[in-house]
Homo-oligomer: A and B are copies of this chain.
Amino acid sequence: MSENGLHVAVVGATGAVGQQMLATLEKRDFPIGKLTLLSSARSAGKKVSFKGQEYEVQEATPESFEGVQIALFSAGGSVSKQFAPEAVKRGAIVVDNTSAYRMDPNVPLVVPEVNEEDIKLHNGIIANPNCSTIQMVVALEPIRQAFGLDKVVVSTYQAVSGAGAAAIDELKTQAQAILNGEEFTPEILPVGGDKKHYQIAFNAIPQIDKFQDNGFTFEEMKMINETKKIMHMPELSVAATCVRLPVVTGHSESVYIEINKQGVSAQEVKSLLSTAPGVVLQDDPENQVYPMPADAVGKNDTFVGRIRKDLDKDTGFHLWVVSDNLLKGAAWNSVQIAESLLKLGLVK
């Protein structure tokens, strides 16, 4: 690190996640000596403020990355594909929040609470997992370590902010139209680039990202494949059903697991999670304490509650996992990886 701190670039600085990255870097007082804010041509020229100073966002070019030490990418997969190698070529370490490199065997896929050491294996790029995957593995890793893990079946309750700022606008505009008894035309959700668009306000859409030939969506397959990679468990049985809700921010997950040890009680799982890194246990049914997305917004933690032992299967447990999809699901996990790079001495 130079005397004044690191040269950090944020690519996609004007987006929903990019904005949260800047807020998080500021809140964490990340040691930044020089800050370069980049975007696609479309958003270049916009003004963004950081620590009270105004920055003009520049269009990313290969040369933008000269001297950059850490580059946080969140401007879509195609931007990462184009510019991450250019950044690496110029000596930067890239923390990529898109799906471009997540399943690349040469790229570590990292949730610091789970597999921080994998960062050491990087070849210039470190991938940030999908939002819905991150919060789940934060909750599952302590359980895996203590009791082993055989099976995961997750049903998600995902917020629209995972689909970007336009999706947030669509939810709010639609909700208002419905309350007014007015007509509206869905244009964004469930998937901006797909053929059909459906009402999201006062509805639930069982599609996030496009469908694969096997009937699962790409979002579901991300949860399945990324969980196995992050937890180093290629043999783990994982299934996901991903559903978009009329919630602005905060993903929830109903998770059924089968552990690899007999005779474990729900209380043991609660005790374990009450001290687990990155986890806040909110589990007091008698006082109606459980996680909810509205409470998780703006927080870095993963909230876990409704922990129950299955009534039939001794190794079965049910959990309810909630987190801010823009923070632990994206911006905070990326900044956390950058902090790990410093901690591990991989950036100087």
A286 to B194, alpha carbons, bound, how many Å? 10
A88 to B214, alpha carbons, bound, how many Å? 53
> A195-B288, A204-B292, A294-B199 given as contacts; is B256 within 8 A of A153 (CB)?
yes
A342 to B242, alpha carbons, bound, how many Å? 43
- For A254, what are the chain B residues with a Cβ–Cβ distance below 8 Å? 155, 206, 241, 243, 254
Do residues B312 and A239 form an inter-chain contact, with CB atoms below 8 A?
Answer: yes
A233 to B299, alpha carbons, bound, how many Å? 44
Interface residues in A182-197 by Cβ distance below 8 A to B read: 190, 194-196
**Interface flags, A160-202, vs B, CB<8A=1, else 0:** 0000000000011001100100000000001000111011001
> A203-B247, A215-B266 given as contacts; is B318 within 8 A of A239 (CB)?
yes
> A215-B266, A307-B215 given as contacts; is B285 within 8 A of A252 (CB)?
no
**Shortest beta-carbon distance, A217 to chain B, in Å?**
8
A153 to B311, alpha carbons, bound, how many Å? 11
Question: Does A144 sit at the interface, judged by CB under 8 A?
Answer: no
A205 to B294, alpha carbons, bound, how many Å? 9
- For A211, what are the chain B residues with a Cβ–Cβ distance below 8 Å? 285-286, 288
The residue from B241, B293, B318 contacting A306, defined by CB atoms under 8 A apart: B241
Q: Which residue in chain B gives the minimum CB-CB distance to A288?
A: B196
Question: Does A305 sit at the interface, judged by CB under 8 A?
Answer: yes
> A175-B179, A237-B313, A286-B211 given as contacts; is B308 within 8 A of A247 (CB)?
no
Do residues A252 and B204 form an inter-chain contact, with CB atoms below 8 A?
Answer: yes
**Interface flags, A265-303, vs B, CB<8A=1, else 0:** 010000000000000000001111011111000000000
A288 to B207, alpha carbons, bound, how many Å? 8
- For A216, what are the chain B residues with a Cβ–Cβ distance below 8 Å? 308, 311
Do residues A245 and B206 form an inter-chain contact, with CB atoms below 8 A?
Answer: no
Question: Does A316 sit at the interface, judged by CB under 8 A?
Answer: yes
Residues of A whose CB lies within 8 Å of any CB of B are 151, 153, 155, 157, 171-172, 175-176, 179, 190, 194-196, 198-199, 202-207, 211, 214-216, 224, 237-239, 241, 243, 245-248, 250, 252, 254, 256, 266, 285-288, 290-294, 305-308, 310-313, 316, 318, 320
- For A199, what are the chain B residues with a Cβ–Cβ distance below 8 Å? 292, 294
A49 to B211, alpha carbons, bound, how many Å? 47
A227 to B155, alpha carbons, bound, how many Å? 20
**Shortest beta-carbon distance, A343 to chain B, in Å?**
35
Do residues A239 and B316 form an inter-chain contact, with CB atoms below 8 A?
Answer: yes
Do residues B243 and A246 form an inter-chain contact, with CB atoms below 8 A?
Answer: no
A108 to B307, alpha carbons, bound, how many Å? 33
A305 to B291, alpha carbons, bound, how many Å? 29
> A199-B294, A292-B198 given as contacts; is B204 within 8 A of A311 (CB)?
no
A218 to B155, alpha carbons, bound, how many Å? 21
A128 to B224, alpha carbons, bound, how many Å? 38
Report, nearest first, the 5 A-B pairs whose CB atoms are least far apart. A155-B254, A237-B312, A155-B155, A211-B285, A203-B294
Do residues A206 and B237 form an inter-chain contact, with CB atoms below 8 A?
Answer: no
